[in-house]
Amino acid sequence: MNSSGFLLCVFSCVGLIFNDQVCAWSLTSSSRRNAIQKGGAIVVSTIFGAEVANAVDLKDDYMQGTAALANMDADAPVPREAYKKLGSGVIYADLRPGKGDATVTEGSRVNLQWVLRRSNGYFVDSSQVQDSVPFIFTVGDGKAIAGIDEGVRGMKEGSVRRILIPPSLAYVKGLEDGKPGPLPAGFGPRQQMRRVQDVRKDVPGEYVFLEVQVTRLR
């Protein structure tokens, strides 16, 4: 599957951790316009002792442009034990294994397809919306936001990972062209992230949520 197809596929019953919680939602396909204009309810379930709420089916209100998990069991949520929390506060879960023996390390040149969301699950932007142009950087060179530079390490080519990034490791240097990425495009998406960085950075449970696929590693 090419990277465009990867980002157009649908995933169901996946989990999102924020502030020691997992959000699970069931997703089906929709138009990109609906996905951007509409959000969807999310449901909090347990990972480190939080209470479980009732699941909500998002149906057609909340898809398209999201990272695809086409090779995973569409009915299985990501188990809590799949998530790892790094000392920096970055949280991640591997959603699809990659291929080969090479892994992302310091100095690796990486192509990423990506989907960016706010911590409430609302879609912000994706590389698929930006004509599937990958975000390309060398690990450790400062071209990626710190949470991505750290969060992609250990990935293999073809692998998919969900990364939750504290605002302090996200767009702290700004969202203008040329700043560390992957950057959302356009005024609206960038304003959403500016609000996270400037207004909500100290709100408990506030994360920048990125799903990424390594499409090339060298």
How high is the pLDDT of residue 86? Answer: 96
Question: pLDDT digit string (tens) for 59-110?
Answer: 333 333 344 433 344 345 678 888 999 999 999 999 999 999 999 999 999 9
For the chain, give the mean pLDDT. Answer: 73
Cα–Cα distance measured from residue 92 to residue 119, given in angstroms and rounded to the nearest whole number: 14
Q: Which two tokens stand for residue 104?
A: 């992302």
Q: All domains of the chain, ordered by start, with CATH?
A: 3-217 (3.10.50.40)
Question: pLDDT digit string (tens) for 122-148?
Answer: 899 999 999 899 999 999 999 999 999
Averaged over 4-25, what is the pLDDT?
36
Instruction: Provide φ and ψ at 112, rounded to 5°.
Output: -120, 130
User: For a pLDDT cut of 90, what percent of the chain falls above it?
Assistant: 55
